[in-house]
Amino acid sequence: MRLVVERPGMFTTIQDGGRWGFARWGVPVSGPMDRWSARLANRLVGNPDASAVLELTLVGPRLRVERECAVAITGAEFDVHVGTRAVRSPWSGGVSAGSTIAFGARHTGARAYVSVGGSFAVPSVLGSRSTEVRAPFAGMAGRALRAGDEIPLGESPSLARVVEGDGFRAWWDAASRGAHRTLRVMATEPATAAFETLCATPFVVSTRSDRMGCRLEGTASWGAIPGGLPSAPTTLGAVQLPPGGSPILLMADHPTTGGYVQIAVLCRADRQIAGQLAPGDRIQFVPVSRDEARSAHLARERALTALAPEVLE
Amino acid sequence: MASVPRVSRLGEETWLVEYEPELDIAINARVHHLARAIAGVGLTGVRDVVPGMASLAVHVDGDRVDDRDIAALLDRAIATASDDASEGALHELPVCYEPPFALDIEDVARRCECAVSDVIERHSTCEYHVFMVGFLPGFPYLGVLDSRLSLPRRDVPRQAVPRGSVAIAGAQTGIYPSDSPGGWHVIGRTPVPLFDATATPPGLLSPGDRVRFVPVPATRFESLVAGTAEAPR
């Protein structure tokens, strides 16, 4: 049984918990840009957190399921037609065999996640089903979905495990709103004057942003930016400062190493917000202490568990 | 006399160990010894250990490790890391330095004020050290390049550098394992695949390995490509 792609959307890929252990050969971690929402989508249909989901970007796909299954849609808010029902994501519920899931208008956020009970039975490559677009490999042949693709569905757990739609709506709102577009960052050590400048400057997300990095435009006075550094390891959420002065916030597909100076790192709790940034969004960086970052992370984890408990393998 | 690196945090889930920021084989060898020592301990919650030119990252799962355990692990490994660079596996890679593969070799020769044959000789006579692999899956940063071939990157990067292209920039040479944009000067191409996601390990070259380039004529290049394509996996 398969999920058939009738219309692919703008950039829809298969992502799972990510690919660890191969960065010394230059293989990026990948995985969902908004991992929190992908985990929620999995929990709502009874899948373990790291199961493969679809990540769609700005414009969603039209999909058809060949068997009855549990489906959850999380992340960015879209109007969606599920079979004959008009719903607004986040949403989860049972979908009958032959039904289509058609994405319409987008309201907030940039990326939505579609999980199916039992997940997708695409091959695991280097320990992950996440799409690596540059090498390319895994996911759907290392590329974004195309019309006509048929994604094999995994063994389905009981449909009874699905958490139905309305119950988590208020929780989702509470967990997702409020902190929008303020990104909390820690300075790299030792802290630089550039970190102060980063936190004192409003930025706009550039259209040249992608899954590797969120490119930021602003009118910062950086002073001298160090260049010609030997390439060094990078990390998810690091803010690189190229000599041109336009910072890059490193995202899920970021290269494992880089030659630009790194001035800040996003706290774990705000990765969800960063993963939902769209071109044109305005953001403000604010400093956060290590203790505050940890508390914020634990609060995000509690919010997730309040929405849906973790499903163990 | 062992140099003492700086240990710092890069956000909540990455630890950084930094030596002097130089392109130096002894420093880099120390990085690789350190990487193996840390990975070899197999501490729960350590997700990946990634060497750079003169630094190393330890990526951890913040929910599964104790900061003190990581700090102690790093202290122990740093104290014992050696700078012996002679242990890495040696790879001999055929390279065709002829048209249509050597896109920039005439330009490089002109800018370095030497003959094309000098570029080939200077590039293929020494043994290189794999400082690190990054940028793209399987892209090796090799050094140290003959200083007479040292050039800054191209002013305008190419939109598409073909897979297998052997290129130079600054004190380094590298190989594009897949079609990619790139700003280095392309002086040849190797038919040997650098990255295979289905292989273990997926990269032909690992950090700390050694490489020699063997010039081959275009006719030999074509037969090597054919041989690669027909070889059973």
The answer on A169 and A40 residing in a single domain is: yes
- Asked, for residue A233, whether it belongs to a domain, the answer is yes
- Asked, for residue A312, whether it belongs to a domain, the answer is no
Q: Do A135 and B9 touch (CB under 8 A)?
A: no
Contact A245, A217 (CB under 8 A): no
Sheet bearing B55-60, strands edge to edge? B6-9, B14-18, B55-60, B46-51
The answer on A138 and A6 residing in a single domain is: yes
The answer on A47 and A154 residing in a single domain is: yes
Task: Give contacts of B55 with chain A, Cβ < 8 Å.
Answer: 230, 232-233
The answer on B196 and B137 residing in a single domain is: yes
Residue B188 touches partner A, C-beta closer than 8 Å? no
Residue that finishes a domain, picked among A175, A193, A224: A175
Residue B224 has pLDDT above 80, yes or no: yes
The answer on A291 and A155 residing in a single domain is: no
The alpha carbon of residue A64 is apart from the nearest alpha carbon of chain B, in Å, by 30
Q: What contacts A145, CB < 8 A, 6 or more positions away?
A: A5, A8, A9, A12, A13, A14, A54, A61, A151
* Ranges under pLDDT 70 in chain A: 157-180
The answer on A113 and A61 residing in a single domain is: yes
Domain CATH number, residue B20:
3.30.1360.40
- The pLDDT of residue B231 is 42
Domain CATH number, residue A201:
2.40.100.10
The answer on B118 and B73 residing in a single domain is: no
- Asked, for residue B1, whether it belongs to a domain, the answer is no
The answer on B223 and B193 residing in a single domain is: yes
Range of the domain at B96: 90-230
Here the tokens at position A173 are 């709102």
- Asked, for residue B12, whether it belongs to a domain, the answer is yes
The answer on B219 and B106 residing in a single domain is: yes
The answer on B100 and B60 residing in a single domain is: no
The answer on A204 and A117 residing in a single domain is: no
| Domain count across chain A | 2
Residue that finishes a domain, picked among A151, A175, A199: A175
- Asked, for residue A313, whether it belongs to a domain, the answer is no
Task: Give contacts of A125 with chain B, Cβ < 8 Å.
Answer: 197-198
- The pLDDT of residue A161 is 60
Which of B15, B24, B59, B179 should one mutate to test binding to chain A, selecting the residue with the greatest count of A CBs within 10 A? B59
The answer on A250 and A108 residing in a single domain is: no
- Asked, for residue A302, whether it belongs to a domain, the answer is yes
pLDDT band at B233 (very low <50, low <70, confident <90, very high): very low
The answer on B215 and B107 residing in a single domain is: yes
The answer on B172 and B141 residing in a single domain is: yes
pTM above 0.90, yes or no: yes
Q: Strand A257-258 and strand A232-233: pairing? A: antiparallel
- Asked, for residue B170, whether it belongs to a domain, the answer is yes
The answer on A113 and A30 residing in a single domain is: yes
Residue that finishes a domain, picked among B29, B56, B80: B80
Which of A256, A267, A285, A300 should one mutate to test binding to chain B, selecting the residue with the greatest count of B CBs within 10 A? A256
The answer on B68 and B181 residing in a single domain is: no
- Asked, for residue B76, whether it belongs to a domain, the answer is yes
Domain CATH number, residue B192:
2.40.100.10
Residue B181 touches partner A, C-beta closer than 8 Å? no
Contact A124, A50 (CB under 8 A): no
Q: Do B203 and A237 touch (CB under 8 A)?
A: no
Task: Give contacts of A22 with chain B, Cβ < 8 Å.
Answer: 48, 137, 201-202
Residue that finishes a domain, picked among B53, B80, B107: B80
Residue that finishes a domain, picked among A175, A204, A221: A175
Range of the domain at A136: 2-175
Shortest CA distance from B58: residue in chain A: A233
- Asked, for residue B85, whether it belongs to a domain, the answer is no
The answer on B45 and B112 residing in a single domain is: no
The residues that bridge with A230 in the sheet, in sequence order, are none
The residues that bridge with B9 in the sheet, in sequence order, are B15
Residue B82 touches partner A, C-beta closer than 8 Å? no
Q: B129-157: per-residue pLDDT in tens?
A: 999 999 899 999 999 999 999 999 888 88
The alpha carbon of residue B138 is apart from the nearest alpha carbon of chain A, in Å, by 5
The answer on A192 and A99 residing in a single domain is: no
Residue B111 touches partner A, C-beta closer than 8 Å? no
CB pairs under 8 A between A and B: 144
Task: Give contacts of B14 with chain A, Cβ < 8 Å.
Answer: 233, 235, 265
Residue that finishes a domain, picked among B80, B106, B140: B80
Contact B77, A51 (CB under 8 A): no
| Domain count across chain B | 2
- Asked, for residue A118, whether it belongs to a domain, the answer is yes
Rounded to whole angstroms, how far apart are CA atoms A167 and A279?
32
The answer on A160 and A223 residing in a single domain is: no
Residue B22 touches partner A, C-beta closer than 8 Å? yes
Rounded to whole angstroms, how far apart are CA atoms A171 and A297?
17
- Asked, for residue A293, whether it belongs to a domain, the answer is yes
Q: Do A138 and B197 touch (CB under 8 A)?
A: yes
Q: Do A27 and B137 touch (CB under 8 A)?
A: yes
Residue in B11, B137, B207 nearest the CB of A238 = B11
- The pLDDT of residue B187 is 98
Residue B13 touches partner A, C-beta closer than 8 Å? yes
- The pLDDT of residue B230 is 45
Shortest CA distance from A132: residue in chain B: B137
The alpha carbon of residue B13 is apart from the nearest alpha carbon of chain A, in Å, by 8
Q: Do A25 and B22 touch (CB under 8 A)?
A: no
- The pLDDT of residue A177 is 53
- The pLDDT of residue B82 is 80
ipTM > 0.90 (yes/no): yes
Q: Do A233 and B23 touch (CB under 8 A)?
A: no
The answer on B176 and B64 residing in a single domain is: no
- The pLDDT of residue A159 is 60
Tell me which residue of A72, A61, A67, A53 sits closest to A102, measured CA to CA: A61
The answer on B210 and B117 residing in a single domain is: yes
Task: Give contacts of A133 with chain B, Cβ < 8 Å.
Answer: none
The answer on B26 and B141 residing in a single domain is: no
The residues that bridge with B189 in the sheet, in sequence order, are B96, B165
Q: A85-117: per-residue pLDDT in tens?
A: 999 888 988 999 999 999 999 988 899 999 999
Average pLDDT score, chain B: 92
The answer on A169 and A239 residing in a single domain is: no
pLDDT band at B128 (very low <50, low <70, confident <90, very high): very high
